[in-house]
Structure 1
Amino acid sequence: MNEFWVFGYGSLMWNPGFEFEERQPAHLFGFRRVLCVRSWVHRGTQEKPGLVLGLDRGGSCRGVAFRVAPEKRDPVLAYLRERELVTHVYKERTLPAALADGRRIATLAYICDRDHHQFAGSLSVEEAASTISTAVGKSGRNIDYVRNTLEHLREMGIRDHWLEDVGRTAESLATPLSA
């Protein structure tokens, strides 16, 4: 069977933006979720970049896999390429993953390009929090992106201690929205 699965580890978990037939918790090995991509479009600008998640080498990542109907494969792929490859800081890869029900699948994932000028590398909690507490892009405030991601990770029973620390620190630095 030639199934088409898409792996979500950040906003794709809570805002996939495409039709799917099945959604399963999934575990991807060899890559970890990290705020390592400077966002110049969705969560920041070139003048004041935000930070978004990327899959960077090493470790593993728990997220969500979406199974897409065969007839929807091409439109979903086109949508994902438009969404994820805006500045080409991500590379499209097919990677093995394990579903919560024990199935092993091949899944489409977007990993960060360490050679791209938007790759932020390893940041301290304070550096990441300082950036996300004030950045805003066309998809909204950077801190809201981190809040939504953390909320969905909690709902799935996934702990990401570093990201949780970044979120807490950013909350203490963020300027509240005007009334």
Structure 2
Amino acid sequence: MTMWVFGYGSLLWNPGFEVEETQIGVMHGFARSFCMRSIHHRGTPEHPGLVLALDEQKGASCEGVALRVKAGTEAETLAYLRERELISSAYLEKKLAVHLNTGDEIEAVTYVIDPDHAQYGHLDLEEQAQVIAHAVGDRGPNTEYLHNTAAHLVELGIEDADLNWLSKRVESLCS
């Protein structure tokens, strides 16, 4: 059976698994948001960073990339994604509908924020910039995560005004 994964953050530029096909798509009912405190990959428990999550919101939508997993690697891909994305149980793994730019609708493995988890929370954009500018985790600086994601969205022709603003603001804070 064909397996798709929906990428909206680091999966855009670092999927970590073999991708057979990539399609731009939209997921309705969720917004891309720096609403997850990162205590592993882009921060520490003492100095959490921020990573993107899909936050369920009525009327929202998130444009991202549907990644079709290479046939025959589905089980190992799912195991890899679970180890990577469920490291602190702040994400919930779901299969959700993605509307592709081709007009097709597919179901994709998607990682969304658990709003009841301790790492969930909202900060205004300036507070996000201040956190991202200084946080570092075991996968590197939080700035790298932000800048790579923002640049890849631009490259894909996906407009995200908040990420563009954050990227410029964090750049000015770090210079």
- Place the TM-score, normalised by the shorter chain, in its bin: over 0.9
Q: Distance in 1 between matches of 2:64 and 2:90?
A: 20
Q: How does 1:8-157 map to 2 (within 5 A)?
A: 8-58=7-57, 59-120=60-121, 122-157=122-157
Q: Distance in 2 between matches of 1:68 and 1:52?
A: 23
Aligned length: 173
Q: Distance in 1 between matches of 2:21 and 2:133?
A: 34
RMSD (Å), alpha carbons: 1.0
Show structure 1 runs of 4+ deviating over 2 A: none
TM-score (ref. length: structure 2): 0.95
2:80 is aligned with what amino acid? Y
Q: Return 5+ residue gaps in structure 2 as ranges.
A: none
Deviations 1:12-71 (A, max 9, x none): 011000012111111111111000100011100011000000000121111111112342
Contact 1:95 1:108 in 2 (8 A): yes
Q: Distance in 1 between matches of 2:160 and 2:129?
A: 15
Q: Percent identity of the aligned residues? A: 49
TM-score (ref. length: structure 1): 0.93
1:82 is aligned with what amino acid? E
Q: Return 5+ residue gaps in structure 1 as ranges.
A: none
Instruction: Tell me if 1:163 matches 2:163.
Output: yes
1:162 is aligned with what amino acid? D
What SS does structure 2 have at the residue aligned with 1:53?
strand
Contact 1:125 1:169 in 2 (8 A): no
Q: Distance in 2 between matches of 1:86 and 1:169?
A: 29
Q: Distance in 2 between matches of 1:4 and 1:53?
A: 22
Using the TM superposition, give the Cα deviation of residue 162 of structure 1 relative to its aligned residue in structure 2, in angstroms: 1.4
